[in-house]
């Protein structure tokens, strides 16, 4: 298996923190000493990508599921119940509340969003899962339950709070 070797001039601690936030499946790296080289397996770098793909695929399987206030199952979802359910299927435990979910993970700017990131709106009263291309999937009370919307749509653009990478 290929290895990636990052030298002492690389911002290795920041790199480790980013990868840790992405949820790699086993310990990320070995720091030999402060400033020593960081060695990662390629599979460790790619695991965050495959996890993101799984999150998006799981979320898309539920397109059209009806909205249900307090819902957190395929019988019906509210926004935070949908995010909680999808992430639970990849081993991440989240509370059933958008504002509390915002306390998890690492802050991500709108420009740095990646598929699988959680996006938040309306004073932390609404959230969904970013799927790429400026779009996200979420459970919306009006509009048919689990749907895909665009971050550029007026309501979401003007009520943007932030994104989190779990």
In sequence order, what DSSP letters do the residues of 22-71 get, joined into one string? HT-SS---EE-STT--EEEEHHHHHHHHHHHHHHHHHHHHTTTPPB-TT-
State whether the Cα torsion 135-25-84-146 is positive or negative: positive
Catalytic annotation present for 126: yes
Question: Which entry of 24, 62, 79, 104 is annotated as an active-site residue?
Answer: 79
Helices and strands (H, E) in the chain, number of each type: 5, 11
Q: Which residues pair with 73 in a beta bridge?
A: 76
Catalytic annotation present for 62: no
Question: Which entry of 62, 96, 104, 126 is annotated as an active-site residue?
Answer: 126
Question: Which entry of 24, 96, 104, 138 is annotated as an active-site residue?
Answer: 138
Active site residues: 79, 126, 138
């Amino acid at each position: 298996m290929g290895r990636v070797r990052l030298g002492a001039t690389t911002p290795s601690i920041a790199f480790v923190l980013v990868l840790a936030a992405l949820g790699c499946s086993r310990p990320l790296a070995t720091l030999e000493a402060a400033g020593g080289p960081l060695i990662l397996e390629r599979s460790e770098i790619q695991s965050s990508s495959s996890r993101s793909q799984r999150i998006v695929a799981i979320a898309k399987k539920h397109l059209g599921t009806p909205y249900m206030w307090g819902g957190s199952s395929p019988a019906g979802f509210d926004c935070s119940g949908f995010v909680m359910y999808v992430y639970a299927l990849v081993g991440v435990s989240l509370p059933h509340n958008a504002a509390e979910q915002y306390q998890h993970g690492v802050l991500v700017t709108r420009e740095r969003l990646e598929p699988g990131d959680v996006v938040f709106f309306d004073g932390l009263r609404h959230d969904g899962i970013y799927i790429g291309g400026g779009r996200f999937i979420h459970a919306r009370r009006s509009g048919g339950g689990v749907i895909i919307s665009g971050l550029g749509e007026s309501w979401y653009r003007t009520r943007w709070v932030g994104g989190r990478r779990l």
